[in-house]
Structure 1
Amino acid sequence: MARRPATPDLPPEDLVEKIVDVDVATEMEGSFLEYAYSVIYSRALPDARDGLKPVQRRIVYQMADMGLRPDRPYVKSARVVGEVMGKLHPHGDSAIYDAMVRLAQPFSLRLPLVDGHGNFGSLDDGPAASRYTEARMAPAAVAMTQGLDEDVVDFVPNYDNKLQQPGVLPAAIPNLLVNGTSGIAVGMATNMAPHNLVEVVAAARHLVLHPDATLEDLLRFVPGPDLPTGGKIVGLDGVRDAYRTGRGAFRTRATARVENVTPRRKGIVVTELPYMVGPEKVIEKIKEGVQNKKLSGIADAVDLTDRQHGLRLVIEVKTGFHPEAVLEQLYRYTPLEDSFSINNVALVDGQPRTLGLVDLLRVWVDHRLEVVRRRTSYRLAKRQERLHLVEGLLVAILDIDEVIQVIRTSDDAETARTRLRSVFDLSEPQAEYILELRLRRLTRFSRLELERERDELVEEIARLQAILGDDALLRTVVSDEMAEVAATYGTPRRTVLLEHAGGTGLAGVAGAPTSAKAAAAPLEIPDTPCWALLSATGLLARTAEDVEPVRGDGTVRSRHDVVASALATTARAEVGALTNRGRVVRLSVLELPTMPPTDGPPSLSGGLPVGEAVALETGERVLALVPLGADAPPVALATVQGVVKRVVPGDVPANRDTWEAIGLRDGDEVVAAALASDEDELVLVSSDSSLLHFPASQVRPQGRAAGGMAGINLAAGARVVEFAVVRPQDDAVVVTVSGTSTALPGTQAGAAKVTPFSAYPGKGRATGGVRSHRFLKGEDALILAHVGPAPARATGAGGQPVDLPPLDERRDGSGVPLAAPVHAIG
């Protein structure tokens, strides 16, 4: 029979069940506040300094700690997830992998921080499992973690207090503005739009050097968001509200154009979709709209997207329906037009705040100033420590025989260290360093090396002390590093900014009109004189009959943009769009949106993107608008290789939509084109700063198939960067911008010079010209040039104005540094 275990002797009070009465409301309030704080601070909201949530920061840091640099092989994503989960983030592998996938998706982030290899998903499908994909750091992630080993940020314990992790990354890239973010916390949420790195850095550099800069000052550099998927932003009032208050909204539109998808049927080809909208979602909504009778005139919708050609969504339009009106329907009832709500909530000093553009930039700028200050202090201490050792070593080498004698006659290392300190007046670190010295360092050559190292250390210490002692010098260092980051990682703008809808030629037409109804709308427009305009940012428009965009001196006025080409025509006429491939495409003036009448200069911000009006090949762009017809005046054009030509490009049959205006050699392309009579001057500017001008009469008009004639004699490696036509009555100026030829286009501000055109003597055709710009140290080429009527205006990639220096009478003087990169001058 089994014996029952003996009951231990326990005090009577311990046998009594303890019940504590707690107020449920108080307990729920305390627990909920603790949970809410944890979600806000540790999970959902990014830090305003590096723009990362904790899980993202831990992923990037752990990959850097594992040595997964861009030049190293990929590793399994599961390995990275496991390291992050085991050491830093104990919240589950799925949450870590989801965050890692987003960091690798080029359609989610403007500047991805993870380089993914394998199926990392699309806008319509999820990624493969972590065991199937591989990853490593993207180049931008290196800039985010650079300097972690130099005490630039504070480290905090991990979840079990066994390891250390950075509380924030050094973040040489303004990640929060460049990549945006989204997150839902408890009682608050954040949703921030991506921006262009070059534009954000330009604004930050301005804020570094001008701490009291206003929002209006910064809007010159950051005109609006730049979405990873491109597309168009329609209406900028909400964007400006968000920049001012931290809250706002804007509409995004797909980039679409009308093409002949079959010999008898037109279609709408979509090449860019709104941010975070996938083609399958669009097709699904189109099918629903057709079934619900909200959409009509659509025969089919096919997704032809592939890796080689990118996004291509073809929407076939039924015969008898106006494609532009169908497109307006699609904008209204499908995600081809979507809205984006901005809510700039981020953590500042551990507290959630709603931030405008100035505050967002100021937080990052202050962070970079602190990072560079701490890095400078760390490097100063290291170099002072090294200088101390080198000076001690030089003392020992000067009397090495006595040093060896002292060491040999000492009983142990401690005695030798003490005697060295007393005999040679050394510190303990110096004595210890001498004891560990290898005999091969005791050569004359090593002494020279040490003396050279001492001099370099003294110079470096003086430089570092100067940075720490001068706030202006510190800000200059930070600004220069920002410029280097923009030049290394910056890319051109992808998203077109439109002040208002404008757009498709029949903007605002509702319903699904038949061809008769669609044709009736244009008949209401009389064939009045107007101007067809092409802006430097690639927008097409025409003026209303009562708008005069051209002054008496021939210059074109425009708000927020410069006009690259203006052509006098009529509302019902056709003009040609001349591309850099030497191709002319027929274009109907009637299909161009009309600029609304204004009291001041007209604005092209509501214009039609040129890619929607003209079917362009990869790398092809429209340079100018030219007249059509056999009686049209000749057009002068020049190529990169220095060839010039005058041609009547519109002398072709009426049934042809595209034709060649010049026979180009292999590797050559057209630089610019303009109308030119015999009395005008043709001007060519080369990348090595040579400027040549000669009468247009020296270039006889040729047929369309001709290849032109020699215009300027180019030096080896040089190319033509500007071609212009100057009329006798023009008070013309020459604008030259110098820089580095190896820099990424649109990332360097360069140095500009504005000089009267009359300062340059003319020479004969096919000669070398005269020098127009003197290069300074670090400059080796002209990155941009402009010749045209004064005053000249410069804009950035988003159409924001960039100030040019005042007029300089010196023909071959050097330039003045610009505040931001220049995209175009007009």
Structure 2
Amino acid sequence: LDNIDAVISLIRASKTTQEAKAGLIEKFGLTDIQAQAILDMRLQRLTGLERDKIEAEYEELIKKINRLKEILANERLLLNVIKEEMLIIKENYADERRTEIRHAEGEIDMRDLIDDEEIAITLTHFGYIKRLPADTYKSQKRGGRGISALTTREEDFVKHLVSTTTHSRLLFFTNKGRVFRLNAYEIPEGKRQAKGTAIVNLLQLGPNEKIATLLAIDEKDDNKYLLLATKNGIVKKTNREEFKNINKSGLIAIGLREDDELIGVKVTDGNKDILLVTKEGMSIRFDENDIRPMGRTAMGVKGITLSNEDKVVSMSLCEEGTDVLVVSENGFGKRTDINEYRTQIRAGKGIKTYNIAEKTGKLVGAEMVNEDDEMMIINSDGVLIRLRVNEISLFGRVTSGVKLMKTDDEVNVVSISKIKMEEE
């Protein structure tokens, strides 16, 4: 603007636009974009009023540049801007989805288009789920470090691991006593070290609601009951038919008292022996016929009488194996013959199943196993080790067992899961 006459003279003396642009760049030290902007200007912008507008625009841009630099230099300010913009988007566009995406009725079942393959499904503490081919994890010797099961956020770890097939239906039971259903093939496939998909993208979970257990349901299975257990030692038996029609918002699977949570669910024929194991190393075995069938929303009956601070860590069916395998938080474990556990009356205090010491820590899980089974043991770093059950020593009930997985002050075992050995 201060050199307006010189600029006009230069442009008038130039034969082509390119020549004028080159002259402006050379004479006034402008950039290519600035020179082009001058050439694109309309004559009306040379009036006094337009000059004031240009100066006001210049000052406004300088302020904007300073503001943007300030935001980039201050993370708190940046997060506030993001928050404000997200709230505006929410206000303008947060209406419910208006279309429902589903498969057309009466057409081909999606399951017919998918191979029925062995898979492993993992779900982490913070709710990330994925499916993998069952042979992703090769067997290792006991006492090893294991291999990393997945890449998670620093404080996350694998909490549930289920071995099943792509054609099975999965029931997701939450700690709040609700149940959801998904087809196994609907779980997105991931690589061994991938984080997975957030379960909240697949299920409508409430605040502070987490998946307590996964159950793979085979349609051809004749077992007609689901058996549920809570951390406070309550058990309940409900007809499987009551879980047939589960909508997207889930169903109530068990009525819970305020301080209680659902910890385990099993499929049964109604005539099994049940084994409950607690974190303090107690256990009780009783006949399932001691529990009468109840409706979905019922609370259940007492399965074991717990001492102060003790909680149930696992529920197993005795016919699931010949030995009871227990694993402690410091990586110790053992097998004990199920015949050492006599059948008792439901709701008793039970008998000792493990000798807890400072070096072993409390129990994290228990499973009924056979010689041909394999186990997955997962620690709080997300590291997973796969062991053959026949490598784990047999001990009596009141013993501590041997080291199965190395741990240290910061890393403990958090979960165990049984898988079947593949055919040779």
TM-score normalised by L of structure 1: 0.32
Which one-letter code corresponds to 1:762 in the other structure?
Answer: R
In 2, Cα distance between equivalents of 1:516 and 1:718: 47
In 2, Cα distance between equivalents of 1:807 and 1:689: 18
1:124 to 79, 85, 105: 79
In 2, Cα distance between equivalents of 1:122 and 1:677: 60
| CA offset digits 1:238-294 (Å, max 9, x no partner) | xxxxxxxxxxxxxxxxxxxxxxxxxxxxxxxxxxxxxxxx5567x59xxxxxxxxxx
Which one-letter code corresponds to 2:227 in the other structure?
Answer: A
Secondary structure at 1:570's aligned position in 2? coil
Q: How far 1:685 moved relative to its partner? A: 1.0
In 1, Cα distance between equivalents of 2:164 and 2:265: 12
Q: How far 1:125 moved relative to its partner? A: 3.3
1:645 correspondence with 2:236: yes
Q: What does 1:57-76 align with in structure 2 at a 5 Å threshold?
A: none
RMSD: 4.6
In 2, Cα distance between equivalents of 1:280 and 1:794: 45
Change in Cα spacing, 1:626 to 1:534, as seen in structure 2 (3 Å) is same
Change in Cα spacing, 1:524 to 1:704, as seen in structure 2 (3 Å) is closer
2:364 equivalent in structure 1: 784
Which one-letter code corresponds to 1:621 in the other structure?
Answer: K
Secondary structure at 1:664's aligned position in 2? coil
In 1, Cα distance between equivalents of 2:362 and 2:339: 19
1:684 equivalent in structure 2: 276
1:634 equivalent in structure 2: 225
Change in Cα spacing, 1:605 to 1:636, as seen in structure 2 (3 Å) is farther
1:795 to 367, 378, 391: 378
Secondary structure at 1:727's aligned position in 2? helix
Q: How far 1:548 moved relative to its partner? A: 8.7
In 2, Cα distance between equivalents of 1:318 and 1:716: 48
1:584 correspondence with 2:170: no
In 2, Cα distance between equivalents of 1:559 and 1:674: 29
Q: How far 1:642 moved relative to its partner? A: 0.8
1:664 to 235, 256, 264: 256
In 2, Cα distance between equivalents of 1:516 and 1:689: 48
1:813 to 399, 405, 416: 399
Change in Cα spacing, 1:656 to 1:674, as seen in structure 2 (3 Å) is same
Q: How far 1:645 moved relative to its partner? A: 1.5
Q: Which stretch shows the higher mean deviation, 658-667 or 676-685? A: 676-685
In 1, Cα distance between equivalents of 2:194 and 2:108: 24
Change in Cα spacing, 1:656 to 1:524, as seen in structure 2 (3 Å) is closer
Change in Cα spacing, 1:751 to 1:302, as seen in structure 2 (3 Å) is same
Q: How far 1:660 moved relative to its partner? A: 1.2
2:341 equivalent in structure 1: 761
Aligned length: 311
Change in Cα spacing, 1:690 to 1:320, as seen in structure 2 (3 Å) is closer
In 2, Cα distance between equivalents of 1:758 and 1:586: 33
1:564 correspondence with 2:161: yes
In 1, Cα distance between equivalents of 2:222 and 2:400: 44
Q: What does 1:348-747 align with in structure 2 at a 5 Å threshold?
A: 526=113, 529=116, 534-537=121-124, 538-541=127-130, 560=149, 564-566=161-163, 570=167, 575-594=170-189, 603=192, 605=194, 607-622=196-211, 623-625=213-215, 627=217, 633-651=224-242, 654=245, 656-657=247-248, 658-678=250-270, 680-727=272-319, 730-737=321-328
Which one-letter code corresponds to 2:407 in the other structure?
Answer: L
1:302 equivalent in structure 2: 90
Q: How far 1:584 moved relative to its partner? A: 0.8
Q: How far 1:684 moved relative to its partner? A: 0.8
In 1, Cα distance between equivalents of 2:293 and 2:166: 22
2:332 equivalent in structure 1: 752
In 2, Cα distance between equivalents of 1:731 and 1:539: 33
Change in Cα spacing, 1:703 to 1:822, as seen in structure 2 (3 Å) is same
Change in Cα spacing, 1:773 to 1:302, as seen in structure 2 (3 Å) is same
Q: How far 1:530 moved relative to its partner? A: 5.6
Change in Cα spacing, 1:794 to 1:688, as seen in structure 2 (3 Å) is same
The structure whose residues are more often strand, as a share, is 2
Secondary structure at 2:374's aligned position in 1? coil
Which one-letter code corresponds to 2:90 in the other structure?
Answer: V
Q: Contact 2:354–2:400 at 8 Å: present in 1 too?
A: yes
Which one-letter code corresponds to 2:412 in the other structure?
Answer: P
Change in Cα spacing, 1:661 to 1:280, as seen in structure 2 (3 Å) is same
2:353 equivalent in structure 1: 772
Q: What does 1:199-218 align with in structure 2 at a 5 Å threshold?
A: none
Secondary structure at 2:398's aligned position in 1? coil
Give percent identity, aligned residues only: 19
Secondary structure at 1:702's aligned position in 2? coil
In 2, Cα distance between equivalents of 1:704 and 1:663: 8
Q: How far 1:704 moved relative to its partner? A: 0.9
In 2, Cα distance between equivalents of 1:809 and 1:576: 35
In 2, Cα distance between equivalents of 1:704 and 1:611: 24
In 1, Cα distance between equivalents of 2:218 and 2:251: 12
In 1, Cα distance between equivalents of 2:77 and 2:316: 45
Q: Contact 2:181–2:246 at 8 Å: present in 1 too?
A: no
Q: Contact 1:628–1:649 at 8 Å: present in 2 too?
A: no
Provide runs of 4+ in structure 1 moved above 6 Å: 628-632
| CA offset digits 1:571-615 (Å, max 9, x no partner) | 7xx54311121111233445322468xxxxxx5847433232122
In 1, Cα distance between equivalents of 2:120 and 2:79: 39
Q: How far 1:818 moved relative to its partner? A: 3.1
Change in Cα spacing, 1:529 to 1:698, as seen in structure 2 (3 Å) is farther
Q: What does 1:232-381 align with in structure 2 at a 5 Å threshold?
A: 278=82, 301-302=89-90, 319-320=98-99
In 2, Cα distance between equivalents of 1:582 and 1:616: 11
1:425 equivalent in structure 2: none
Which one-letter code corresponds to 2:325 in the other structure?
Answer: V
In 2, Cα distance between equivalents of 1:753 and 1:516: 47
